[in-house]
């Protein structure tokens, strides 16, 4: 998307970092100015009601919040099936099994349990590295 935010904002505007999926489904990082992001959100190209917030637990990158476009990144019936009843958010876990990437949508309760275990193992691994 291209928006004209002016040379001063481009050079000196405060910046934010976005994590978005590329055409292959990989998460990439992009730096944009806050003004550009606000302009993007207010544009007619931004499908406000077609975005779902995903709490992703990635075994390599840790916890991330990403946004998927319904109909592009995920099907609407899948969102309806897995979304949290209170927030409407999705909860997912990304992991490796038999040298293959796997992504699973799970319930918020299961995700919270996995997150606690992830934090525990991460802490234990950090202590064993420090102890050596």
In tens, the pLDDT along 78-95 reads: 999 999 999 899 999 988
Q: pTM to 2 decimals?
A: 0.60
User: Does 104 or 20 have the greater pLDDT score?
Assistant: 104
pLDDT (tens digit per residue) in 106-116? 999 999 999 99
Using the predicted structure, report yes or no on whether residue 38 has a pLDDT greater than 60: yes
User: Does 131 or 18 have the greater pLDDT score?
Assistant: 18
Each as own residue / partner, the long-range contacts of residues 46-53 (CB below 8 Å, 24 or more positions apart, any chain) are: 52/79, 52/83, 52/88, 52/89, 52/90, 53/87, 53/88, 53/89, 53/90
pLDDT for residue 66:
86
pLDDT for residue 128:
55
């Amino acid at each position: 998307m291209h928006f004209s935010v002016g040379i001063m904002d481009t050079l000196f505007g405060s910046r934010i970092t976005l994590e978005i999926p590329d055409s292959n489904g990989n998460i990439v990082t992009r730096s944009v100015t806050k003004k550009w992001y606000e302009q993007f959100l207010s544009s007619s190209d931004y499908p406000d009601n077609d975005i779902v917030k995903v709490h992703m637990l990635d075994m390599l990158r840790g916890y991330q919040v990403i946004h998927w476009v319904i109909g592009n990144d995920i099907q609407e019936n899948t969102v309806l099936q897995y979304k949290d009843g209170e927030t409407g958010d999705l909860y997912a876990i990304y992991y490796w099994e038999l040298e293959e990437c796997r992504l699973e949508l799970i319930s918020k309760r299961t995700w919270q349990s996995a997150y606690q275990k992830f934090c525990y193992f991460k802490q234990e691994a950090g202590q064993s590295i420090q102890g050596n």
